[in-house]
Amino acid sequence: MSKYLLSLLLIIPIAISAQTKVTIDASVTYQTIQGFGASDAWNTDFVGKYWSTSVKEDIAKKLFTKTFDSNGNPEGIGLSRWRFNIGAGSSEQGSESNIEMTERRAECFLNQNGTYTWTKQSGQQWFLNQAKTYGVENLVAFVNSPPRFYTKNGRTNSDNKDIYGSTNLKDGYYDDYAMFLTTILKHFEDDGTHFSQISPVNEPQYEWANGQEGCPWKNQEIKQLAGELNTAIVNNGLSTKILLAEASSYKDLYQMNDNADKCNQIYGFFNTSGSAYIGDYSQVLQGIASHSYWTDGDDSTITSVRQNTYNKSQEQGKIEVYQTEYNLLSKSYDDYLTNSIFLGKMIYADLTIAGASIWDYWTVLERERWNQKNRFYLIRLIPVGGDYGELNTGGTISVNKNLWVLGNYSLFIRPGYKRIQISGANNLSGLMGSAYISPDSTKIIIVYVNLGISSVTISQAFNNLPSDSEISSITPYITDANNNLQVQDAISKNSTYKIQARSVTTLVIDFENTSSSIEQKTDYSELNIYPNPTKGLFQIKVINPESGNIDLTINDMVGNVTCRSNINGSQHQTIDKSDNPFGIHFSQPLKSAHNIVKL
């Protein structure tokens, strides 16, 4: 039976002004993207425990869903990574934890007598289960401190007075800490929740004397822990990979400084002559994780530290670079929109300059206090008692453009996509563009960030597209002052396009197969679809086909199959998508050469 894919294309004219030419070359590839994620620290446990089910479900949907509404607009940002914080027990200590803010204290599954209470961290577990239900591809467990029962001072933060201090883990407790982590991984695995990665240390360069759970580590101590954890994971039959070392800054990955025992980690961990070589541990990811705080002050710094990180990673066996924490900790603008577009710029810089294959945001949920605006959240929490109220009283949320800017990347660039070459859009103060091709080479995603105050009209040239393919449709999604990742009218491959000022725009580019080696296309004089446009119920009729029945497949904006039907010759067929209307306008008449593709 012949199979056909119905491509949906709406061409709109665009006024031509001064143009910027952008060239995309699909034959030049870079890193493979593992995913985009965010962390459940700090407030998620409180929201999961005390807030209404409707509010929690709304949060989960906005973070995890990959679906579109009846108008073709995304209903969420489709995160492909979710970071679950394994607590160390500061919550049980209360005020003696040396952590003033209650929401920054975390419960610990481990009890002092060596037993485990698996109902702890129930609020976080609620969101973890939602991430699993929505099909988030990578669940990541991360730890800020060993359990308080295993620390030198009996707390989950350190007594160190400077950044040169050693770990707070007791001597002789490396295997105990490794077994603690593996026991938790095994419990969730047996319960149907697989953690693809475990991150056992966090920002080891800091002293972590107060304020939150945290533990300093020297490189040699990280090596010892990685060895014990590697053995425990293998012995328990798990496949979880070890993610290291969540450096506090890119600079710690490649620089030698006064804190010699905690820096130059790319060389130290991945050069066979390095003092803390871990490259031969079977469960250690062949990549290095860093946070990109404190490297976003100016364009020169943004560029140089990321170039140095990338170059050093290439020198040491082309290991991967992972950016696992960022928000606007070290940068502050006066208005919400500029903060959000700047976030888009930093994602661009980490992906294209540092070559990061993982990009994770930090605090998903936060109150807005101390005039910090939207610097520290994707979704704003508004407790019943106001911004300074307690989180255990419930409340409402406000969705910020930070969420949608991240969604311009996370929803469309799925795990397995490869970054490809793009030139003509690399101005960190103006127009920035990055491009990615799907694993099956049927789709290209381009994300443009325009930090400038003026719009930019672009013309795009596509070189070396996959063989036997040509562009069938280009669908834009925009986040700016007036749009939150809203779908726009489709454009043609030859059209210019205006990238609005202060915006992030994603272009979803679908290909059609033009190969004549599979089978000659059937010639149709016309394909009638009515009513047009439609909200879900329409009829389709093929007039004068030369042969056979047709398998009709309709895809949504990101390529998911939403409908399959068989049409018999010249008979009309009613298609009912009222249960999931998509509000598409079909161009008329539909000619086979442009709109029907044989697979």
Tokens 């400084």 — which residue?
Answer: 257
Written as tens digits, the pLDDT of the chain (599 aa) is 333 344 433 333 333 346 899 999 999 999 999 999 999 999 999 999 999 999 999 999 999 999 999 999 999 999 999 999 999 999 999 999 999 999 999 999 999 999 999 999 999 999 999 999 999 999 999 999 999 999 999 999 999 887 788 999 999 999 999 999 999 999 999 999 999 999 999 999 999 999 999 999 999 999 999 999 999 999 999 999 999 999 999 999 999 887 789 999 999 999 999 889 999 999 999 999 999 999 999 999 999 999 999 999 999 999 999 999 999 998 878 799 999 999 999 999 999 999 999 999 999 999 999 999 999 999 999 999 999 999 999 999 999 999 999 999 999 999 999 999 999 999 999 999 999 999 999 999 999 999 999 999 999 999 999 988 899 999 999 999 999 999 999 999 888 999 999 999 999 999 988 764 333 344 444 455 655 555 566 666 665 555 455 556 665 555 555 666 666 655 566 676 665 544 443 433 333 333 333 22
Can you spell out the DSSP letters for 171-226?
Answer: TT-HHHHHHHHHHHHHHHHHTT--EEEEE----TTS---SSS------HHHHHHHH
Residues 488, 56, 377, CA angle at the centre, nearest 5°?
65
Q: Is 320 exposed, middle or buried (0-12, 13-18, 19+ CB in 10 A)?
A: middle
Tell me if 459 sits within 8 A of 56, measured CB to CB.
no
The Cα 326–Cα 216 span in angstroms is: 20
Q: How far apart are CA 481 and CA 379, in angstroms?
A: 17
Please list the residues that pair with 38 across neighbouring strands: 82, 361
- Burial label for 161, CB within 10 Å (0-12, 13-18, 19+), is exposed
Measure the CA–CA gap between 299 and 592, rounded to whole angstroms: 49
Sign of CA dihedral 452, 444, 14, 8: negative
Please, is 542 exposed, middle or buried when counting C-beta atoms within 10 Å of its C-beta (0-12, 13-18, 19+)? buried
Give the angle 358-362-363 at the CA atoms, nearest 5°: 150
Helix residue spans in 236-361 (DSSP H): 251-254, 265-270, 299-315, 336-352
C-alpha closest to that of 201 among 98, 130, 308, 276: 276
Q: Please provide the DSSP assignment of 490-547 as one string.
A: -B-TT--EEE-SSEEEEEEEEEEE--SSS-PPPP-SEEEEESSS-SSEEEEEEES-SS
Cα–Cα dist 348/354, whole Å: 10
Estimate to the nearest angstrom the gap between the alpha carbon of 261 and the chain centroid: 32
The identity of residue 518, as a single letter, is I
pLDDT tens, residue by residue, 230-257: 999 999 999 999 999 999 999 999 998 8
State residue 44 phi and psi, 5-degree precision.
Answer: -65, -35
Distances (CA, A) of 232 to 73, 177, 179, 275: 45, 10, 6, 23
C-alpha span between 147 and 169 (Å, rounded): 9
Domains of the chain: 2-6+518-598 (no CATH), 19-30+419-513 (2.60.40.1180), 39-414 (3.20.20.80)
Q: For residue 487, what is the enclosing H or E element?
A: strand 486-487
Integer-rounded Cα Rg, in Å, for the chain is: 26
DSSP secondary structure of 574-596: EEE-TTS----PPPSS--HHHHE
